[in-house]
């Protein structure tokens, strides 16, 4: 299994490249072979990987990445062949039909996801986000997802894709109602974190689309982080601002290091 990390120097804000590490490590911990293939911006993106990770980015690098991916069409070919793609924030926007370029003007995306992203003058969405996954995924055991969002543009979905789920706290695609854009095996989300470190269940779901069902792992630490973030996200929503609380995650780390 090869996980391609696409142009991390252009699309890799907030540690999104870590998503590739999480995917590879979760397979290796189960004794399966996996490797991450970092494809730099001056390299050709192969169309034959099983899984692709595309991260978030600022407006100008995002436009550059889109131009390259439009020209060579590796993601189009990979998706047609059944590869799985995780696209975060600018990644989601780039995979859509159009997005807002650095000057705010409409820029062509890849047209892999049926969605359009533009600037509407609404304030930049920054902060913790909690999402209740749609029934299809919740029914498979996917819990509430937690992440961090930071985007200036907003996304409207067309009929060809559906949201990841309903926003419990935060902004999501547009107005605090829904988050993400999913079509087939392409999972677009506004969640940084990295999202797969925050939500190992999501990592396993994407992996299972490639390798089939997976046995359990000891996820004590990421589950503690997940639960802390979920509590914090709800609290921030109720208080309408950032909250500082003694972190269960930090306590766990201190306990582990014997301090």
Judged by the rule CB under 6 A, the positions of this chain that interact with ligand GLN are: 13, 56-59, 62, 89-90, 93, 150-153
Least CB distance from residue 92 to ligand GLN, whole Å?
8
Q: What is the rounded CA–CA span in Å between residue 217 and residue 14?
A: 25
102 or 242: CB nearest ligand GLN:
102
| Cβ neighbours of residue 249 closer than 8 Å, sequence gap 6 or more | 221, 224, 225, 228
CB burial of 33-61 (b: ≥16 within 10 Å; e: otherwise) equals ebebbbbeeeeebebebbbbbbbbbebeb
109 or 163: CB nearest ligand GLN:
109
Least CB distance from residue 89 to ligand GLN, whole Å?
3
19 or 93: CB nearest ligand GLN:
93
Least CB distance from residue 120 to ligand GLN, whole Å?
11
Least CB distance from residue 60 to ligand GLN, whole Å?
9
Least CB distance from residue 51 to ligand GLN, whole Å?
20
Tokens representing 191?
A: 């969640």
Least CB distance from residue 182 to ligand GLN, whole Å?
18
Least CB distance from residue 150 to ligand GLN, whole Å?
5
74 or 96: CB nearest ligand GLN:
96
Residue nearest to ligand GLN (CB): 56
Q: 250, exposed or middle or buried, with CB in 10 Å at 0-12, 13-18, 19+?
A: exposed
153 or 169: CB nearest ligand GLN:
153
13 or 19: CB nearest ligand GLN:
13
13 or 146: CB nearest ligand GLN:
13
């Amino acid at each position: 299994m090869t996980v391609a990390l696409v142009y991390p120097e252009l699309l890799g804000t907030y540690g999104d490249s870590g998503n590739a590490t999480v995917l590879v490590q979760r397979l290796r911990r189960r004794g399966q072979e996996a490797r991450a293939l970092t494809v730099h911006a001056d390299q050709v993106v192969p169309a034959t990987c099983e899984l692709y990770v595309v991260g978030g980015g600022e407006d100008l690098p995002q436009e550059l990445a889109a131009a390259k991916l439009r020209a060579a069409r590796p993601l189009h070919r990979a998706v047609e062949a059944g590869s799985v793609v995780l696209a975060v924030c600018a990644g989601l926007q780039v995979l859509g039909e159009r997005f807002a370029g650095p000057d705010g003007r409409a820029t062509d995306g890849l047209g892999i996801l049926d969605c359009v992203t533009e600037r509407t003058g609404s304030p930049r969405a920054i902060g913790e986000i909690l999402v209740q996954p749609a029934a299809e995924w919740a029914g498979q055991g996917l819990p509430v997802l937690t992440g961090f969002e930071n985007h200036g543009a907003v996304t409207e979905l067309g009929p060809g894709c559906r949201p990841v789920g309903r926003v419990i706290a935060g902004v999501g695609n547009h107005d605090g109602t829904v988050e993400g854009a999913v079509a087939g095996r392409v999972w677009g989300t506004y969640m940084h974190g990295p999202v797969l470190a925050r939500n190992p269940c999501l990592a396993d779901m994407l992996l299972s689309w490639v390798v089939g069902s997976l046995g359990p792992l000891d996820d004590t630490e990421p589950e503690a982080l997940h639960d802390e973030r979920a509590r914090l996200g709800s609290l921030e929503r109720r208080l309408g601002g950032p909250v500082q609380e003694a972190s269960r995650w930090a306590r766990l780390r201190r306990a582990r290091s014997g301090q």
